[in-house]
Structure 1
Amino acid sequence: MKTLKFLITLVFISLNISVSSQNREVKIEVTKITEQFYMLKGQGGNIGLFIGEDAIFMIDDQFAPLTPKILEAIKKITPQKVDYLINTHWHGDHTGGNENMAKEGALIVAHENVRKRMSKESTRRGRKIPASPKEALPVITFDKDVTFHINGDDILATHIHNAHTDGDALVYFANNNVLHTGDSYFQTGFPYIDLTSGGSIDGYISGIEKMIMLVDDETKIVPGHGTVSSKKDLEEYLVMLRTLKNRVEAEIKKGKTLEEVKKNTNITKGYESKSWWITSERIRETIFRSLNKQ
């Protein structure tokens, strides 16, 4: 029994050391997009920061342990505290710092499905995710759209139906001409479509189409993960998604099984460079399951 307790203690200590070391190594990189808008990269989804005399407006907040570093980076940009925080969806790498930011005085806004999913225990990728504490939940929610009129700009937060999840929001700054997409656009490669959270390939395609309608050739596009992009990047991404969907649909019409589609590298031929955490096999499987509702 003593040996077992000792081993458990060692594992617990090593995990804590690993997490602590990881947090120490994370650096918050700041990129100035316009005179008022900044992108902050660390560990998790890209953060947007909109500054001005009226208020400080923040998009997403990564993981809770990173909040001190994020706040330190923000202080180098502006001495003002964050007034509004909008979550682009419910995943922890975008909402993990909510409770900390609320304690700092930020008012949290999100689509109503974000609050619903954060309010209850769930399972994602085989891992149980506990319900978020009350302090981390959005206090203002919307169904379709909500507009903020601050700092001389009109900020539109608009819902995308069943794209990355069922609670996705695009955030568009009209006068600054900046669009923050959350994870409804992955500049890094194949998209992560969270089927267990209401995501779908059709919704993801519709979301990219909506983005293209919102932007012009001069718009700076901040993806959920990756680097600042352009309208042309979105258009190329849309072609890829439509191509992959059509190829998987063709296989389904032939009566091919999930396993056959997963192994069929011809479906993702020409897009091998887009394979990352979401591998070529995984995107084939995801699209198959989405179209077959499996």
Structure 2
Amino acid sequence: MEHALLFMKRITVITVIFAAFTSYGQRDWEKVEITSEQLSEHIYVLFGSGGNIGLAIGEETAYVIDDQFGPLTDKILAHITSLTDKPVKWVLNTHWHGDHTGGNANMANQGATIIAHENVRKRMAAEQDRGGGRIVEPSPKEALPVITFNDKLTLHLDNGNDMHAMHVNDAHTDGDAYYYFPEDNVIHMGDNFFVGRYPYIDLNSGGDIDGLISNISMTLGIIDDKTKIIPGHGPVASKKELEDYLGVIKQLRTLVKNARKAGNTLEQTQQLGLSKPWDATHGQGFINAERIIEFIYKSADD
């Protein structure tokens, strides 16, 4: 009986993963609406389907952080045009996943230069195993970043302000980067921050829970109570919300590590209900209780 239940459990998990992976091809892109929110004189965030887009408007050009999915490029550019007449000349990626880089080729073909951490280019240029039987083929040449950095990079925007690109510790992936606008007091954290959801630690892309905790702690050290935080997914957030997010992750990490140290297998640890206090607020999305326990169990240091 136990074997049968375990088999059914695994089939259910595989089905959920498959559904998530195949949803891209089933989406009705015509129904996606691009909206925006102004965060400062020069900075906006755009919402649609996929990762949140950062938009910095300069005197002569516009700078975009992430570009969601390819079928949405025309809608995204049309919305940007409603905010500024400056052309998009620079596109920066927070990491390699397709819901953040899917529009790269389209943006490049209309004249933008793509910038990202060097591991973003490496992963996009080669076949990637996303797990659950899903293989991602290499991206076309046009989609690849043509300028890469290994630690940090500063863009001196043509409005007189700066954008600091910072490669952070392996967390969501091994190519994560933050983009920080000190004069505007805005930071784009990419998928190191999911508002109202457990984090996604992409183990197949070098993700690591300890790196995530370190990155969030570092962020809290450089922002203040007035900083506008653009998360990878979800609404614009504050320092207090990021502090609360870190608290949940750290508590879960401690609980899972203690269970693992006590000799529990992954499956046994998942059955302990360790995440129950936060499942209603954080575990209703793509990353459920079982998956966050797995991420922590497999990547947390001893």
User: Do both share a fold (TM > 0.5)?
Assistant: yes
Asked whether the equivalents of residues 69 and 103 of structure 2 are also in contact (C-alpha less than 8 Å), the reply is yes
Matched, 1:187 2:187: no
Shift in Å, 1:54:
3.9
SS of 1:62's equivalent?
A: coil
2:235 match:
227
SS of 1:252's equivalent?
A: helix
- Output one character per residue of 1:204-259: Cα deviation in whole Å (capped at 9) or x when no partner: 10111121112111000000000010111111111111101100010011100010
Summarize the alignment of residues 263-278 of structure 1 with structure 2, pairs less than 5 Å apart: 263-265=271-273, 267-272=274-279, 273-275=281-283, 276-278=285-287
Matched, 1:208 2:216: yes
**Cα separation, partners in 2 of 1:147 and 1:159, compared to 1, 3 Å:** same
2:116 to 99, 110, 132: 110
Summarize the alignment of residues 1-294 of structure 1 with structure 2, pairs less than 5 Å apart: 22-125=28-131, 126-150=133-157, 151-265=159-273, 267-272=274-279, 273-275=281-283, 276-291=285-300
Asked whether the equivalents of residues 43 and 62 of structure 1 are also in contact (C-alpha less than 8 Å), the reply is yes
The whole-number CA distance in structure 2 between the counterparts of 1:249 and 1:120 is: 34
Asked whether the equivalents of residues 81 and 104 of structure 1 are also in contact (C-alpha less than 8 Å), the reply is no
Shift in Å, 1:42:
0.6
The whole-number CA distance in structure 2 between the counterparts of 1:133 and 1:292 is: 36
Asked whether the equivalents of residues 59 and 88 of structure 1 are also in contact (C-alpha less than 8 Å), the reply is yes
The whole-number CA distance in structure 2 between the counterparts of 1:37 and 1:29 is: 14
**Cα separation, partners in 2 of 1:163 and 1:289, compared to 1, 3 Å:** same
Give the fraction of aligned pairs with identical amino acids, expressed as a percent: 51
- Output one character per residue of 1:117-147: Cα deviation in whole Å (capped at 9) or x when no partner: 0000111032110001111000000001000
Segments of 5+ residues of structure 2 without an aligned counterpart are: 1-23
1:3 match:
none
The whole-number CA distance in structure 2 between the counterparts of 1:152 and 1:169 is: 22
- Output one character per residue of 1:20-50: Cα deviation in whole Å (capped at 9) or x when no partner: 8610000001111112111111100000000
Shift in Å, 1:55:
2.4
Segments of 5+ residues of structure 1 without an aligned counterpart are: 1-17
- Output one character per residue of 1:121-174: Cα deviation in whole Å (capped at 9) or x when no partner: 111032110001111000000001000111221111101121100000000001
**AA of the residue aligned to 1:141:** T
The whole-number CA distance in structure 2 between the counterparts of 1:233 and 1:94 is: 23
The runs of 4+ residues in structure 1 deviating greater than 3 Å are 18-21
SS of 2:68's equivalent?
A: coil
> Between Structure 1 and Structure 2, how many residues are aligned?
275
